[in-house]
C-alpha cells in the first residue's frame, strides 16, 4: 500500500510537470483520482482512494491552498428523541426526518477550510460538517441535527480534517480518502478546490463509483430484480443447510 501512492505521484509528476508550462497555465488546477471505481467484493473490508494533483503556482503556506470534498449518495434518515413516560419508561418521542443525508462526507485540505476561507464563503459552499445543508421535517430543535452529526461521525463515514492534504515539493498535493467497510454503493462526487488569497479561484469536479462486484453483486441484483425467486432460494437454501447438518451429524 505504501508503494502505490509513490508510484502514482511519479506518474502524476511526469504527466503534469512534463506536460509543459503552457498547458499548466491554461488550467490553474489539475487533479485526478487513483481509481474510477472501488469494487466491493464479498471479502471487502474497506479501502482507500488517492486524490492527487498539481497547480500552476507553488502550493503551501503563503501560496496556493487546496480543499478536497467528497460526498457519497444520499439516503433518508430519521432521528428520534427518547422521552421518559411517568419518569421510568423510555419511549421514542419527537422525531426529525432528514430526507437527503450523504452516506459519505469527507472534507480535508492543506489546512482546515475555516482557516482558508472567509466564513460566508465557506458556509455558502457547504465546506465543513457545520455548513452541510440538511433539510429536515418534523422536530426542529438543533439537537436533532447534532445527534445526526454525532452518529455519522462515530460510524467513520463523515470525516472532517482528519488527515490533511500532503504537499510534495511545493508542486504536488495528494490525500487518501478513507473508505470504511460500511460505505454505501453508488456514485461519489469529489470536488478539489484551489484557494488563492482567501478566494476559491478554481474547482475540479471528479467522480468515482463504489460498486458491488462478483458474488456480492449477483446476490444483491437477484434480490432486487427477482424477489420471489430470491425468497424461494433463501427458504430452500436454509432447508438444505438444515438437512445437510442433520446428515453430517447423524449418530446411530
1: contact with another protein by CB under 8 A: no
Number of residues in contact with another protein under rule CB under 8 A: 61
- Least separation in angstroms between residue 23's CB and another protein is 42
The angle, 0 to 180 degrees and rounded to 10, between the axes of the packed helices 214-225 and 227-248 is 120
Is residue 76 near another protein by the rule CB under 8 A?
Answer: yes
In the complex with another protein, which residue's Cβ is closer, 22 or 154?
Answer: 154
| Candidate list 147, 166, 201, 202; residue touching another protein; CB under 8 A | 147
Using CA atoms, how far apart are residues 109 and 27, in angstroms rounded to an integer? 20
60, 185, 196, 202: which one contacts another protein (CB under 8 A)? 185
Could you say which of 25, 35, 41, 207 contacts another protein (CB under 8 A)? 41
Element housing 191 (H / E) = strand 186-196
Closest CA to 55 of 45, 46, 66: 66
Cα separation, 175 vs 166, in Å, equals 6
Q: Name the nearest CA neighbour of 174 among 2, 7, 9, 3.
A: 9
CA–CA separation, 91 and 227 (whole Å) = 34
Decide: is 47 part of the binding site for another protein (CB under 8 A): no
Q: Is residue 90 close enough to count as binding another protein by CB under 8 A?
A: yes
Query: Which three-class secondary structure state does DSSP give residue 90?
Result: strand
Q: Is 80 in the site for another protein (CB under 8 A)?
A: yes
Quick one: which segment of 1-9, 30-38, 91-99, 195-203 binds another protein (CB under 8 A)? 91-99
User: What is the chain's alpha carbon radius of gyration, rounded to the nearest angstrom?
Assistant: 24
Binder to another protein among 47, 121, 125, 230 (CB under 8 A)? 230
- What are the angstrom distances between the C-alpha of 242 and each of 230, 234, 237, 239? 18, 12, 9, 5
| Chain residues in the site for another protein (CB under 8 A) | 40-46, 75-82, 84, 88-92, 95, 97, 143-144, 147-148, 150-151, 181-182, 184-185, 212, 215-217, 219-220, 223-224, 227-228, 230-235, 237-239, 241-246, 248-249, 251
Amino acid at each position: 500500500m505504501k508503494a502505490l501512492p509513490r508510484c502514482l505521484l511519479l506518474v502524476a509528476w511526469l504527466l503534469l510537470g512534463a506536460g509543459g508550462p503552457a498547458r499548466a497555465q491554461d488550467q490553474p488546477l489539475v487533479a485526478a483520482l487513483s481509481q474510477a471505481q472501488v469494487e466491493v467484493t464479498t471479502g471487502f473490508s474497506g479501502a482507500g482512494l488517492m486524490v492527487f494533483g498539481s497547480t500552476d503556482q507553488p502550493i503551501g503556506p503563503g501560496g496556493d491552498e487546496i480543499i478536497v470534498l467528497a460526498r457519497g449518495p444520499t439516503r433518508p434518515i430519521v432521528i428520534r428523541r427518547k422521552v421518559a413516560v411517568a419518569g421510568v419508561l423510555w419511549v421514542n418521542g419527537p422525531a426529525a426526518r432528514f430526507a437527503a443525508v450523504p452516506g459519505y462526507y469527507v472534507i480535508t485540505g492543506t489546512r482546515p477550510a475555516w482557516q482558508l476561507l472567509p466564513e460566508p464563503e465557506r458556509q455558502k459552499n457547504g465546506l465543513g460538517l457545520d455548513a452541510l445543508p440538511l433539510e429536515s421535517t418534523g422536530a426542529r430543535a438543533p439537537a436533532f441535527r447534532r445527534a445526526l452529526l454525532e452518529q455519522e461521525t462515530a460510524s467513520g463515514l463523515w470525516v472532517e480534517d482528519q488527515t490533511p492534504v500532503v504537499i510534495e515539493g511545493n508542486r504536488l498535493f495528494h490525500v487518501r480518502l478513507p473508505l470504511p467497510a460500511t460505505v454505501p454503493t453508488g456514485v461519489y462526487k469529489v470536488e478539489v478546490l484551489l484557494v488563492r488569497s482567501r478566494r476559491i479561484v478554481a474547482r475540479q469536479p471528479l467522480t468515482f463509483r463504489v460498486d458491488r462486484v462478483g458474488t456480492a453483486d449477483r446476490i444483491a441484483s437477484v434480490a432486487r430484480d427477482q424477489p420471489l425467486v430470491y425468497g424461494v432460494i433463501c427458504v430452500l437454501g436454509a432447508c438444505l443447510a438444515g438437512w445437510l447438518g442433520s446428515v453430517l451429524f447423524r449418530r446411530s
